[in-house]
Amino acid sequence: MIRSRFGTFRGLLRLALSYPQLLLGQSASRAPDPAQVRRLVFVCQGNICRSAFADVAGRQAGLNTASVGLSTTTGRAAHDAAIVAARALGHDLSDHKAIDLKDYVPQAGDLLLAMEVRQLHRLAADPRLADLPRLLLGCWTRPMLPHLHDPYGLDDRYMATCLARIDRAIGALVSAFPGARLS
């Protein structure tokens, strides 16, 4: 059950720790003015699973999106297991090319949406990004799951579970940030 729902025991533990971090204001979140948000930028470690999928699903839902990885190689393709799981959800990741954080060019109106609290801390520590609003994508899942554990190299069932959670969060983002909708 842990492998299919949380990826690993570490994933479950990080999820459990993320709730008090969020509640106690220790997540490094920086709330946006929803009316000012023009683009949703999804952030994860490698930009080949979670953020790549969120980017594609967001665009398919009519949102202005981008995605980046905190530690990746720009141009890297999506992970094969993510491509398969995305296809099962009706999304095509086959053309995705990763973008490393150093190659990301912030724009006015960007909202950074990370998968993990530690990623928010890393974004907050970057002088180029410190002033940008940043939140956890998992705050839009139902039930709320502030930590969306990295599915890379884990059980295929967890990859499907993780991407399905992200897919459901996209619908809530459409309502929450109407200024990020494409015309």
- Extended beta strands in 4-153, E state: 39-44, 65-69, 110-114, 134-136
Exactly one of 14, 44, 122, 165 is catalytic; which is it? 44
CA distance 116 to 18: 8
CA 67 to CA 112: how far, in whole Å? 9
181 is catalytic: no
| Catalytically annotated residue among 39, 55, 122, 150 | 150
Q: Which is nearest to 156 in space by CA: 10, 47, 4? A: 4
Burial 132-144 (b: 16+ CB within 10 A, else e): bbbbbbbbbbeee
In the set 14, 50, 122, 165, the catalytic residue is 50
Q: Is 100 in the active site? A: no
Token representation of residue 136: 């956890």
Q: Does the annotation mark 44 as catalytic?
A: yes
Hey, which residues are catalytic here?
Answer: 44, 50, 150
